[in-house]
Every structure is written in C-alpha cells, then in structure tokens.
Structure 1
Amino acid sequence: MSHRARGFVVGVLILLGLWMSPVWAADTGKLVEKDGRYVFVESMDPATKLLLQRAVKQGTITQDEYDHVVKESQDRTYLLQPSFKAWYDRGFNFSMNDNDFFLKIRGRFATRFTQRYRNDAYRESGDSKNFPELLGVFGDYRAARSGEEASTFNLRTARIYFMGHLFNPDFKYYIQLAGETAENAQAPGALSVFDMNVTSTHIPWLNVQVGQYKVYFSRSQINSTASMQFANRALAMDAFTANGLNRRDVGITIMNDEEVYPVTYYLGVFNGAGPLVNRFAQFSSEEPTLGCPGGQTGGNPFPSPAGCSVNQRNLNGNLRSNVNQLMYVARLQANLMGRAGYGEGDMAYSETPQMVIGGAYAYNPSIDTSTNNGFIGIDLANLSVRRQLAALGNGRMLGQGVVDFSTWTLDYAFKYRGFSLQAEYWFRNVTRHNKGLPCMVTTGVGGPCTAYAPGQFGNTTGWYVQSGYYLIPRKVEVAARYAWWDPDTRSGGDLIKEVDVSLNWFLGGTYDHQIMLTYSNIAMGQGGFAIGRSAPLPATGACPAGCPSGAVPLDARAGMLIENAVRVNYQIFF
C-alpha cells in the first residue's frame, strides 16, 4: 500500500474513533505529512490529555470542564502558530494568513548544444524568406546565407515563475519572466515579461482570465516547452499561432474548468498584436507631399522628382489606422476518455486510455505588413509587427499591405501505458485589403510602381503528427514527428517538410529534470515570391544605382534548402 493510501486509511479510522467516542468529541487534531508519511497530530499534548481524561474518570473534573480546557488549548495553539509558512515542494512555497495568500517561486533553465549541417543552397542563394532565421535591423530583411556547418551553445530557456493565489485559492495569479536567447539570436537576451495575468475560478463553469498569456488556440502552442518530446516545436507549429505573430497576447478569456467538465470551452478577445503591444502601435505612413518620396531619417534613396525637396521625410507619424480592431478566438475541447492534458507524451504511464479532441478558430483583422512596395525597410511603421511575422516564418507576407487572418485548427491526442499519439491540422485564410497585385519595385516610396508580383499571395495550410513510447516507464522515451507546411497555396515549390526523432531521459521520473537528444531534418522549397527579394530579376538600368537590395531577387538561383541538425538539450525545473 502506498504512503497516500495508508494515510487515507489512518484518517478514516481516526474519524470513526472520534464519532464513536464522546470523550474525544471535543478533541481534534490534523493529518500532517512528514517524511513521506501521513501522521495524525493531536491539538493537545498527549501527557496533558491523559491526565485530564483520568481526572474525568475519577470525577475530579466534569466532562464540560474537560471540553472547555480542550477548546482553550486548541484556540491557544492556533493563535500561537506562525502566520507565515515556508517549504519546498517543486518550488519555493510561501503561505500567509492561514492560506489567504500563497506564493510559489520556480525557476527553469535549459542549455543546449546544436550541431548543424546545411547543403550548398544555403551558401549560394540563402533563405530569402527569412525562415526560421531573421536578418535585418529595421525590417528590411535580406537573405539568410550561411556556411555548411555550425556548432553552437546557447541558453535556450531561462525562466522564473511567480504563481499562487490572493485572498483565497479561487483568485489565482501567474507571472513568468524570461531572459533567454534563440539559437539564431543576433543580440544578447534581455529580461522580458512573458506572462502576467490573474484568473478567477470562483464559478467552475465561468472562469475568467485577464492579462497577458498564451492564447488558448492550438494544442501545440498551449503546451509548455517544459513538457515536450522534442528540443523544438516544429516550424509549422510556430507559423500557425492565433494572431500569426506570437503565441502570447494581451486580452481576456472566459472558460470552464477542464478538471470538472468533460467538454471545455474557451472564448477570448485580444489586442491581436502580440505581447506588450496594442493596436495603437500600428501606423500607416503617408507621403509628406503627394508624389514625393519619404519614410527616411533624411533624404530618400532616389533622385528627387521635380518639385520635391531632398529632405522630405515621414517618420510614420501621419496616420494611426485600424486601432479599433481586436482579435477573437474560440476553442472547444472534448475529453472522450480520461484527461489527456496538454503535456506531450504519456509521462504518467496511464493505466486507462486517455483521448481528447479539440478545435479552434481565430480571427485577427487589419495586420499592417507594411506598404506593398519593394522597399519595406525604409518605412519604419509597424516594426514590431514585421519582426514578429518574420520571426515565426511568415516573412513572405511582408509588403502585402493590410491583411486579415482567419485561422482554423483541429487537434487530437491519445495516451495509454507509455504510448502517445498527437496530431494537428491548420488552415489560414489571408485576405489582402489592397486590391491588385502587390508592387515589387517602385521608383520611390509611394510609386509609381515599375514591377508587380506575378500573383497574389495565397492561403496557408499545415499539419503534423507525432508519436512516442516509454521504453522504461517515466524514465526513457523515444519519439518521432513529421510536419508539413505550405506557406502559400498559390505558389509552387515552396513546401516546408520536417522530420524529427528524439531520445529522452527523464532523470527523476518527471519533466523537471531531463536530457534530450533530438535529430531534425528540414527541407524548405524556395519557390514562391517574397516582396523585394524574389525573381524575376529587374532588367539592368530599370532602377537607380544598379538596383538597391530591396529589388534584387536573392533567391534567383533558388533550390531546396536542406538542414540536418542534432540538438542535445539539458533542462532542470526547480
């Protein structure tokens, strides 16, 4: 029998004894966990209690006097006990004022070694779609060219968590700070706020969460990186977030308690612009003088047209647009068998089958991807939006003007006795506000346009399936995943395919202490158009100064980009 089972039996026997014995009716205590065992500790010192019981039997004191003394002893014990408690249990725990306030502090870090091998196409043409690497400071993204091999160490995860409740356990708070760097980071990481929110669980069917947090949309995004089967999320997973920019956002969500109800709903409203950003950060630059270039800190890159001043410029302060737009998200999830939860893999080694299916829809309107001309970098408007788009692999949407995202997802998970199976499907409809073909080359900011894209940017679709099995329950797991992504349904030769295999060792039988060895093969087609970085190559003399970089098709010799990578990831969560 386990310690918890024995503790339960002891508690039942004690309660029966208290009910059957009138002498003990006023004498109570509590179950205390000590060294892995549950022990009943009486409120009164046993020696004092024995003397009082003998006094009752001898008639020295009455039963009422005995009960009064016991009650006084209990009150005294309660008043003298400290109002502050501190202990360690998967985090540093602090409780005050009889659990009116509770704080748990946790830390997590993961350090990683990555060995990459890339084919010649990375050296010759590079990745002009900027996925998954992001180059450029002001959003004027160049092709990411690289050598064939790379060996790197990085601090992939560095988090500190503050969580608990205020006033009572039904008013929860959660804060997560991060100071990590991505594998391809161009600058040192800085401490940032990932999550900061409060949740009311007073009404089980109407929980309310407010603040900044992960949007309840896609299973792979809701799940934490602390409980994954692979060193990284698949590239397709990151591309299909609810807002298209980041897995986190600022807003409000109402939901029911998934631990109580077999069917869970989530309804959320968000800024739709990513963490710590709102729609007021979006601008639409206008020409200072009709027909005159602008958008630079000084001058412009072209010979000034007649009647235009060399120093005319526009630093994005002319017009704020679409500030009244918000993102709407709805998710529905049904536990068909058991409670599969969101963590990948069957760490619990479920003795009964666990099966869950879910689906979601997100509508994020009026995302300004910048002016639809080849020189998106000289317009500094919406820099945060452009960086987020590119960082998640959606850089080819840059220069499409204002777009609306409508994204659907379906997901499924099954777990049983160490075996797990998980899959998701996504479809995103991308609607451009600007009519006609996007402009690729202009003679100045605002026109006239001299070259147009050969076709409209299409919708996007993707899916993945992954499975794992514990060779040693809760200790050693093997997992495999295949992901497929079409970033533009109207273009050919641009598919992104990924195969991952992982061997995982969980040292303590939990996700808290683990070593992960993951092999990844990624093949990215270079077909399709990215504004300002795509074929066809402008004719010589078609633009000033031999064609600035924004007009040069850096993928003119496009081929399949292939990367093989081995990652060794060590994580500790304390």
Structure 2
Amino acid sequence: MKKQATLAMAGVLAVLAAGNDAQAKSLEDILKEKGVITEAEYKEASKAKPFDYKLGKGFVFTSPDQKFQLLLGGQIQAQYELDNYEVANKQDVSQFNLRRVKTLLSGYAFTKDLTYKATYNWSNVVKENSKAMEEVNMKYRVADELQVMLGQEKIQYSRQWITSNTAQQFVDGSFVRNAFMQGYDIGINLHGDLWTGLVKYDAGIFGGAGQNTKNKTGDNAYNFRLTFNPLGDMKYGEGDLENTQKPLVSLGSSYYLNTVKKTVTGTGATATSAVDNNSSNFVTDSNGWLGTAVKGKYFGTKVAEDISVDSWEADFAAKWRGASMQGEYFWGKAVGETSGKELIAKGGYLQAGYFVIPQRLELALRYAWMDPNSQIGSDSISEVQGAVNYFLYGNNLKIQGDVGNRHIYKGQVDDLVARAQVQLLF
C-alpha cells in the first residue's frame, strides 16, 4: 500500500512538474526535494539507464557496463527578419530563415573523464557548406584544475561568443561581437576550474586558419582567457532565468595573437587583395574588423605581406533575482609586416535585462558601438536594441523578438532591423 501511495504521489508530482517547472526537472529530483525518497534511493534511481531522455540534452544511450554514453539532441531556430534601409541603393528585406538547425552529439568513452562532442549545423549546408561542421573534439579531465581539449572548438574569446546561442537574451549576438570574435578553430586548449569555479582559465594554440581550414603557413594562433567569479561559480548564460537568490558577478578578459597572410591578385587598377586561406570570423564576416579593412584596400594592393594581429577584450556580467547586466570592450590591432601600416579597431556593448514574470517573461535592452578603424574618421557604427523573451520550458522552448536601430555615422544613415524567433532545443 505504501509503495502504491508513493507511486501515485510520484505521478502527481510529475504532472505538476511538466506543467510548471521551466527547467523540467527529472522525477528523481522532484521526489528527493519533496522528501519522498532518501539520498541513497535518489542515487540508486539516478544511475545511468540503457536508454533515457534529458530535456535540453537529448536522448541518452548508455552501455551496460556504463563505460560508454551517447547523447543525441538537436536545435532548431526558426526566424523572421525585416530589414529597412535608409540608403537608397540598399534593398529592403522581409524574409523567413532557418537560422540554425543542428544535430548535437556528445558523451564519454571508456571513462567519464574522456568526453567527446560533435555538432553539425545543417543550415550552413545551404549557406556555406565548409562551415557546417562546428565543434568536434575530445576532452580529457585530469582534474577540475586541468582539462585538455583536442580538436575543433570555439576560440575562448568574448563572453557572448562562449555563451551558447541558445542561452542569449537577443535573437543573435551583438554586431560588435560578430566583428571581433575568431569563431571556431582546430588545436589544443587547456582549461581549468580553480577553487570550485572561483577562477577559470584557458590557454590554447590553434592552427590559426579558422573553422575546418588547414593552415598553409608556419604561423599559429594563440589564445588566453582568465575569468574571476568572486561570489561563486557563474555559468555562461545571459539573463537570470534561474532567478538567482544570491548575487553573482563574473569578470573576464581574453587575448588573441595570430599572423595572417595578405595576398595580391591582378595588376594595376584591377589589383585586389585578400587574406589567404583563412576562415576566421574577424576576417571573413562582412563586417569583420580586419576583413573589412583588407577588402577596402586599406593595406593596399601592391605588396603581399604578413599581417600580425593582436586582439584583446574585457568583460563583466552580473545577475540577481531576475535582473542581469553584462558588457564587453574589444580592441584589435593589425600591422603589415612589410608596409608597416597599422590598423586599430575598437568597440563594445552593454546590455541589461529583467524578468517581469520570473522564469517566464523577460525584457532586455542593448547598446553597441564600434570604430572599425580609428585611423579613418567618421566610420563608426552604433546600435540600440530592445528585446522581449517568453520562456515556455526554459531555453528549451522559447519565443524571442527584438528590434533595433543601427546608425552609420558616415553618411548619417539609420537601418531598422526587426526579428522574431522560435527556439526548440531537444
């Protein structure tokens, strides 16, 4: 009778959890919180099952000896975008877009200390097939203080880039972040959590040519990041969806060093230059701080030369009881090693949000600014955006919308961008 009563209570609790818990806790978690089962019973019930499902992580397959595990999940972001340009030679756009459609694989092999991850973005198959394969790597945990990554991952530079796109307050990251971030690259990275997440570090060496691209030169890229969480470990995630009951603060800084090769094709008036064999985001993005300068012939078209790149950023984030704030400052320097010509770019953003209905409805505001080349006057860009987010099951199922005005100082023009997005993470 007691067992039947326990099962009946478990069923009622499961129904209530499905309807009200934005994080969709497991049945074992709920029973433990309510005091229905003991700590020992919780550990026994939580043991890996041959087949399971975890919301937000996917379907879980575990070998009988528990030495191997595979998580199979997916992500879909269906988006609508309206672009209204003030400049006459720009075409206004009203479009529906599958922003991201991903298959997510992860798990461990032989030991829980050896993990792996593979993500494939199907939306890039249409747009840019060479960038469909994203994070593909293995990580070995020697200890919390030292973990080693081999393979391709996000360069640990910029808080907003490191934060998953599924856990951001706006439909997409700031245009300033997009201009300065390196993207994905292949290499080795050392990561550690010190004093239970109080301090975190990353130190990596990468090919330097970017996502899914083999380096053709003898130069490599180096990246370093240090994060300090004085009030306790703070995970990467924008907004305070968890409705944190104690204040959390995080301070971080990253540094990136690389050398890229500028090539020259053609002669005379038809001569053009580009960065050879490099798919790093700050080079290839239409508004990337270095790529824009090279395409605009800032470094000239007469000499093929190496360009040394130094890039630095500083960031902070804070959250408490549904309120959140974060910001970043970026600085980049490029020097032509033959011409001696120098480029300095800088920019930043500040954003804040508040859950007017805890864990359900959030409002956010962001201001961003960038000077892509301080050596040239009147080419700065600024943007003001507002956003509203409604969470049905946390970040696993949410509806987002934002609208922004981007001001281009050169020409004194304004562009209006409005976006709406539905996100499903399973």
TM-score range for the pair, normalised by the shorter chain length: 0.7 to 0.9
Cα distance 1:384–1:217, how it changes in 2: closer, same or farther (>3 A)? closer
Distance 1:380 1:465, change over 3 A: closer
Q: 1:376 to 1:3 in 2, by over 3 A?
A: farther
Contact 2:364 2:387 in 1 (8 A): yes
Equivalent-residue separation in structure 2 for 1:470 and 1:324 (angstroms) = 50
Query: Counterpart of 2:215?
Result: 279
Paired residue for 1:198, among 119, 135, 138? 138
Structure 2 partner of 1:305: none
* Residues 230 and 516, structure 1, Cα contact 8 Å, conserved in 2: yes
Question: In structure 2, the residue corresponding to 1:459 is in which secondary structure?
Answer: strand
Provide closer, same or farther for how the CA distance between residues 261 and 339 of structure 1 changes in structure 2, counting only shifts above 3 A: closer
- Matching of residue 569 in structure 1 with residue 391 in structure 2: no
User: Following TM superposition, by how much is the alpha carbon of 1:495 offset from its aligned partner in structure 2, in angstroms?
Assistant: 0.2
Counterpart-to-counterpart distance in 1, 2:197 and 2:170: 30
Relative distance call for 1:190 and 1:109 in structure 2 (3 A) is farther
Measure how far apart 1:265 and its partner are: 1.2
Q: Where do 5+ consecutive residues of structure 2 fail to align?
A: 1-28, 300-304
The amino acid of 1:87's aligned partner reads D
> What corresponds to 1:391 in structure 2?
285
Aligned CA distance change for structure 1 residues 387 and 266 (closer, same or farther; 3 Å): closer
Query: Match for residue 421 of structure 1?
Result: 325
Q: Are 2:74 and 2:104, in contact at CA under 8 Å, matched by a contact in 1?
A: yes
Aligned residues of 1:502 and 1:519 also touching (Cα < 8 A)? yes
Alpha-carbon distance between aligned partners in 2 of 1:342 and 1:84, rounded to the nearest angstrom:
29
Q: How does 1:155-194 map to 2 (within 5 A)?
A: 155-181=98-124, 187=127, 192-194=132-134
Partner of 1:10: 38
Deviations 1:348-394 (A, max 9, x none): 110000111011111112x12332976455x7882655997242513
Matched residue type, 1:340: M
Paired-residue identity, %: 26
Aligned residue number for residue 265 of structure 1: 201
User: Any idea what the Cα deviations from partners look like across 1:334-361, whole Å, max 9, x if unmatched?
Assistant: 1111222111111111000011101111
**In the superposition, relative to structure 1, how do residues 375 and 151 fare at CA in structure 2: closer, same or farther (>3 Å)?**
same
The equivalent residue for 2:396 is 512
What CA deviation, in whole Å up to 9, does each residue of 1:268-297 have, x standing for no partner? Answer: 0011111111221xxxxxxxxxxxxxxxxx
Residue identity in the other structure for 2:175: L
Task: Tell me the equivalent position of 1:73.
Answer: none
Residues 362-511 of structure 1 mapped to structure 2, 5 A cutoff = 362-365=256-259, 367-371=260-264, 375=270, 377=272, 382=276, 384-385=278-279, 389-394=283-288, 395-398=292-295, 399=297, 400=299, 401-435=305-339, 456=341, 458-508=343-393, 510-511=394-395
Partner of 1:215: 155
Q: Structure 2 residue aligned with 1:353, among 247, 268, 287?
A: 247
SS of structure 1 residue aligned to 2:173:
coil
Alpha-carbon contact 1:154-1:181 (below 8 Å) kept: no
User: What are the superposed Cα offsets for residues 190-223 of structure 1, whole Å, 9 maximum, x if unpaired?
Assistant: 7821010011113221110110000112111111
- Residues 150 and 203 of structure 1: is their aligned pair in 2 closer, same or farther, counting only changes over 3 Å? same
Shift of 1:178: 0.5
The CA distance in 1 between the partners of 2:195 and 2:78, in whole Å, is 33
Aligned to 2:226: 332
Between the aligned partners of 1:87 and 1:426, the Cα distance in structure 2 is 43
Q: Greater strand share, 1 or 2?
A: 2
Specify the SS of the correspondent of 2:415. Answer: strand
Cα distance in 1 for residues equivalent to 2:252 and 2:180: 16
| Alpha carbons 1:457, 1:488 under 8 Å: kept | no
Instruction: Describe the SS at the equivalent of 1:490.
Output: coil
Secondary structure at 1:237's aligned position in 2? helix
Larger radius of gyration: 1
Tell me how far 1:523 sits from its aligned partner: 1.5
Deviation at residue 396 of structure 1 after TM alignment = 2.1
Q: For residues 288-317 of structure 1, what are the alpha-carbon distances to aligned partners after superposition, in whole Å with 9 as ceiling and x for unaligned?
A: xxxxxxxxxxxxxxxxxxxxxxxxxxxxxx
Distance in 1 (alpha carbons) for counterparts of 2:223 and 2:163 = 17
Report the Cα distance in structure 2 between the residues aligned to 1:484 and 1:324, rounded to whole angstroms: 35
Task: Return the match for 1:151 from 91, 94, 102.
Answer: 94
5 Å matches for 1:543-554? Answer: none
Q: 1:571 to 1:342 in 2, by over 3 A?
A: same
Partner of 2:65: 98
Would you say the 8 A contact 1:369–1:386 is kept in 2? Answer: no
Any unmatched runs of 5+ in structure 1?
Answer: 15-28, 39-82, 124-145, 281-322, 437-455, 527-558
Counterpart Cα distance in 1 of 2:155 and 2:120 = 17
Indicate how the Cα distance of structure 1 residues 234 and 488 shifts in structure 2: closer, same or farther if over 3 A, else same.
same
Q: Which amino acid aligns with 2:405?
A: N
Contact 2:124 2:132 survives alignment (8 Å): no
Evaluate the alpha carbon distance shift between residue 573 and residue 562 of structure 1 in structure 2; reply closer, same or farther with a 3 A threshold.
Answer: same
* Equivalent residue, structure 2, for 1:300: none
Offset, 1:561 = 3.8
Alpha-carbon shift at residue 258 of structure 1 (Å)? 6.2
SS of the equivalent of 1:563 reads: strand
Deviation at 1:233, TM superposition (A): 1.0
* SS, match of residue 166 in structure 2: helix
* Structure 1 contact 370–386 (Cα < 8 Å) conserved: no
Note if contact 2:210-2:280 (Cα within 8 Å) is conserved in structure 1.
no
Q: Report the CA distance between 1:98 and its aligned residue.
A: 2.4
What does residue 52 of structure 2 align with? 87
Q: Do the aligned partners of 1:359 and 1:409 also contact (CA within 8 Å) in 2?
A: yes
* SS of equivalent to 1:169: strand
1:30 CA drift (Å): 6.7
Question: What SS does the corresponding residue of 1:3 show, helix, strand or coil?
Answer: helix
TM-score, length-normalised on structure 2? 0.83
Counterpart mapping for 1:102-141 below 5 A: 102-119=69-86, 121-123=87-89
1:434 CA displacement? 2.5
Any conservation in 2 of the 1:170–1:201 contact (CA below 8 Å)? Answer: yes
CA contact (8 A) 1:458 1:489 kept: yes
**2:213 touches 2:277 (CA, 8 Å); kept in 1?**
no
Distance 1:375 1:174, change over 3 A: farther
Q: CA deviation at 1:457?
A: 5.0
Give the aligned residue type for 1:105: L
> Over aligned residues, Cα RMSD in angstroms?
2.7
Separation of aligned partners in 2, 1:404 and 1:435: 12
Offset of residue 402 of structure 1: 2.5
Residue 276 of structure 1: SS of its match in structure 2? coil
Instruction: Provide, for residues 505-540 of structure 1, a one-character-per-residue CA deviation record: whole Å limited to 9, x for no partner.
Output: 0111x11101101001112234xxxxxxxxxxxxxx
Length, aligned pairs only: 384
Query: Partners of 1:230 and 1:351 in 2: how far apart?
Result: 23
Query: Is 1:247 paired with 2:183?
Result: yes
The TM-score, its normalising length taken from structure 1, stands at 0.63
**Structure 1 position 479, deviation (Å):** 0.5
- Find the aligned partners of 1:409 and 1:381 in 2 and give their Cα distance: 23
Whether the aligned pair in 1 keeps the contact of 2:211 and 2:279 (CA below 8 Å) is no
